[in-house]
Amino acid sequence: MSLKNLSVKNKILSKYKSKLNNQKVNQIYRKFENSFKINQNFIVAVSGGADSLALAFLTKLFAFKNNLNPKYYIVDHKLREESTNEALKVKKILKLFNINSQVLTVRSKRPQNKIQSFARNKRYDLLFSKCVKFKINNLVLGHHIDDLYENFFLRMIRGSGLKGLVSLSEETQIKNINLLRPLIKFNKKDLIFISKFVFNFYVDDPSNYDTKFNRIKIRNFIDQLRSIGLGEKKFQLTIENLKRSDQTIRFYVEKNKKMNSIMYHRRNELILKRNFFNNSYEVIFRSLSDLILFLGKKKYSVRGKKIDNIMSKIENKRLSKETLGGCVIKMVNDTVILRKEH
């Protein structure tokens, strides 16, 4: 490194360290540093909200100290007239702290309904494409404790099982990309403090107050629950207990897949042994769902009702041939065969 570049780096690092002189910022960073265990480069998703700007600051400081070179992307969903100007302003503010970022723009036409789901899917598509392009397997997201609350109750409303209720965790994987959520145990107030203290700015999206969205209704409901004693410690304890139960089921699911399925790679075909179905309903359900996802190579698992339907047909020997999740599923005598759809 040249003396000039070294001088610039030291100046920037000094700017970050000056923020750490604040006791609260220092405490938040220490907590972050203890939870964010990574020694590979990563991509950071930035929306411009308080949580993602706090994440940008914390990850950049972490990268400085650990000699890493993360990439930062701001997604402009084009859902509001002001979104492009906001994205460019976020980019400019990040630049002041030597965080080089790129704006990714959603080009698809806005749908009439399920807008938040549409935005999420398009956002992940853009971010995943960058992970693939640069061969980076770690995507860092700004979900915090309030998102954990909201996900739990949203899933409950949808009738999700145990796996769905605890699906928002510190680390999950989709298509060999690790989704990392190092802020999942941080409260939003602390992240707002970081954004205000460090950047003196964050985007306050008006959709965060629009009660036509179920997520916002649930957010208001959670505030009511807090008022009668549902604190973070109690909620996290409940989630941890559920996760332990989920891990136990996962153990038997992995065992079932390993012991009772045979993969024929040349034919892109899976044979399920008879014993595959000699398990509890949940173990069979998850095993089948996992194998369809693996063989079909889709981004997300097939919806539960469709798996239920296939399982019912298999149990009653009424399955002839079905197409699901990029797979053709058929039953020959008592043998179930999964083949990748061409």
pLDDT of residue 111: 67
Distances (CA, A) of 69 to 36, 54, 59, 228: 15, 18, 10, 45
pLDDT of residue 6: 47
**pLDDT one digit per residue (tens) for the chain, 342 residues:** 454 454 556 677 777 888 899 999 999 999 999 999 899 999 999 999 999 999 999 999 999 889 999 999 999 888 788 889 999 999 999 998 999 999 999 887 776 777 777 888 889 999 999 999 999 999 999 999 888 888 898 888 888 888 888 888 899 888 789 999 999 999 999 999 999 999 999 988 777 767 777 878 888 888 888 788 777 788 888 889 999 999 999 999 999 999 999 999 888 899 999 999 999 999 999 999 999 999 998 877 888 889 999 999 999 989 989 999 999 999 988 899 999 988
pLDDT of residue 121: 85
Sign, CA dihedral 272-277-281-282, equals negative
pLDDT of residue 3: 45
Distances (CA, A) of 287 to 32, 153, 214, 229, 294: 35, 25, 31, 38, 11
Give the ranges where 104-204 is alpha helix by DSSP (H): 115-133, 145-157, 162-165, 188-199
pLDDT of residue 9: 63
Q: Which residue has the tokens 């999740």?
A: 325
E strands within the chain?
43-46, 71-76, 101-105, 138-140, 171-174, 177-180, 261-264, 269-272, 321-324, 327-332, 335-340
pLDDT of residue 199: 94
* Amino acid identity, position 282: E
| 19 token code pair | 């923020």
* Amino acid identity, position 29: Y
pLDDT of residue 10: 67
* Pairing verdict, β 327-332 and 138-140: unpaired
Per CATH, which fold does 3-230 belong to? Rossmann fold (3.40.50)
* Pairing verdict, β 269-272 and 261-264: antiparallel
pLDDT of residue 8: 54
Residue ranges of the chain assigned to CATH 3.40.50.620: 3-230
Taking the C-alpha atoms of residue 98 and residue 303, their distance in angstroms, rounded to an integer, is 43
User: Rg of the chain's alpha carbons, rounded to an integer?
Assistant: 23
